[in-house]
Amino acid sequence: MMESLKQGAIADFAPGRCLATIAWVWVSLACLSASAMAGGKPGIAPKPDFGPNVLLFNSSMTSSEIQRKIDQVYAVQRHNEFGSERNAVLFAPGTYAIDIPIGFYTQVLGLGASPDSVRIRGNVHADASLDHNNATCTFWRAAEGFSVTPAGGTMQWAVSQAAPFRRMHIEGNIVLHQNGGWASGGWMSDSLVDGNVGAGPQQQWIARNSEWGSWTGANWNMVFLGVPHPPTGEWPSPPYTKIAATPVVREKPYLEVDGGGNYSVRIPALVRDSAGITWHGGVTPGRSIPLSRFYVAHPSADTAATLNVQLARGMNLLLTPGVYELTDALRVTRPDTVILGLGFATLKPVRGTPAMTTADVDGVILAGLLFDAGATESPVLLEIGQEGSSAPHAANPISLHDIFFRVGGAGVGRAAVSLRINSRDTIVDHTWIWRADHGAGVGWESNTSANGLVVNGDNVTIYGLFVEHHQQFQVLWNGNGGRTYFYQSEIPYDPPDQQGFRSALGVNGWASYKVADTVTRHEAWGLGIYSVFRHPAVVLSRAVEVPQRPGVRFHHLITVALDDKGEISNVINNAGGPTSIEPRVTPRVADYP
């Protein structure tokens, strides 16, 4: 039988077929042969080759062995804010007594059908990466798909942007800060906390489709969407924005393994008007795609050419951790293609091309990816649909989950636009689109970027929109029927003077959130926009700029000046007033118009 399988693999070869795929086939067949010769049990699948940057643990391993390997990863990633290392830590179903610190570019993932299939008895924690308990730079880390019984009763998750917390069960309490230190926002979805969530000094937060015993703490902008029991109190004191149901979403896909060692990727079902977690029944409703329908990519071997061959063959992609330097754009053309990254898999264009483009087709899902601009300017890093796309996708929308962007910081980076959405009905489920304000290659003439997000498609819905420091509009929304649930933005720190920072005659700076004058329908909830000007005599006329129409509506906006220079003169259009110099105030607008 093995010989016939090998002959079939040879017969299936065609010119242009990726040699890495053929090598994988032969390795897989060799593993099957070895298993058969060793008397392997029927139905036990061979372990996939996830590469050296993925740690895969099962409960038959000793706690000391697991702890040693986790500590080795954390020793590298603890302060590795702009390093090139990437890691995923995977746990098969079982119970583990360990301590898991989660550093930069580290994803910890349970492989069970339910979060309760993987149980951690001990600590799982994200710690402040700066001194004085300061978590404002605690970025790029993730906890997904497992339960934690925290030692001492309370888990610490002191994070800011790009730190997804998904499908988690905390059998105790959780705090979103470290000893009362600063923290700058985060994301929680499809998660259950048996006890209290302590927000403390978190500046802003979005919790979507989550449940808890209680919530305490508030600061500037806290959004609760599809949360059955949100905290008591009404905006602006405390600043709680509460929306009873999530209008339309599918949860992020996730990797899982069954008792026979068979791996698949679970695709949660699209749901409408939902509240609470998806896994009360034990399994999130949806469908599973066997891993055999994914090409498992490795940054040491794969290129834009090899990945595009696999996409053209109809394969989905599982990108193992690392930095993929791309000389051409990855082109997604097939409906229902899934591209799932592990361990903050990073796509970096190096010749001024986009990193990825998609056709205007149904059901494409992109998840768990970091797009990092190269030194040669890209016109766009990720483009969803072609310009002029008009096909309806409401029944099976394109969706993006934990998709992050960076321009500069790890080195000089340039991109005119980070994310452009042309396709209708697209769903974005958590993104941070960042022009770096610190790190390497940072400066007004160095890491250049006009816009973080441009939306041209109609009926686009975004949950958890974090966009910062771009040099013109952070967000430019041209499509009709758009919706945003939670927005966090800092305008750029570094405009050198007012003369070079004007969007129109008599208009200082570029509004953070701009709805085009042609738009007739748009709505947004829970917006916080902040300034940290580094040069004197630079101000921003308005944080949000929209056409004056009854169908364009905004709810719960706040502006804050975080330094001693400049101001934001109005919150939205000419409403709200300034963040005056002395004393500093935080203007708020409840509803507009």
Within 10 angstroms of residue 581's Cβ, the number of other Cβ atoms is: 13
H-type helices in 343-462, by residue range? none
CB-count burial class (<10 Å; 0-12, 13-18, 19+) for 4:
exposed
325 classed as catalytic: no
Among residues 85, 383, 490, 567, the one annotated as catalytic is 490
Q: Encoding tokens for residue 277?
A: 């977690």
> How many CB atoms lie under 10 A from the CB of residue 215?
24
User: What residues contact 433, with CB distance under 8 A and at least 6 apart?
Assistant: 404, 405, 418, 419, 452, 453, 466, 467, 468, 470, 474
* Angle, helix 19-37 to helix 2-11, in steps of 10 degrees: 180
Q: Are strands 338-349 and 316-319 parallel, antiparallel or unpaired?
A: parallel
Strand partners, 463: 429, 485
CA angle 422, 425, 428 (to 5 degrees): 80
Rounded to whole angstroms, how far apart are CA atoms 451 and 115? 37
At which residue do the structure tokens 């929109």 appear?
465
Q: How crowded is residue 228: how many other Cβ atoms within 10 Å of its Cβ?
A: 14
How far apart are alpha carbons 339 and 360 in whole angstroms? 16
Closest CA relative to residue 91, chosen from 140, 135, 58: 58
- Side chain identity at 52, as an amino acid letter? P
Q: How far apart are CA 472 and CA 104, in angstroms?
A: 29
Count of C-beta atoms within a 10 Å radius of residue 260 = 10
Which residues 6+ apart lie within 8 Å of 151 measured at CB?
99, 122, 123
Q: For the chain, what's the residue count?
A: 593
Tokens representing 271 are 């749901």
Q: If we measure between CA atoms, which residue out of 58, 62, 150 comes closest to residue 111?
A: 58
Residues labelled as active-site residues: 490
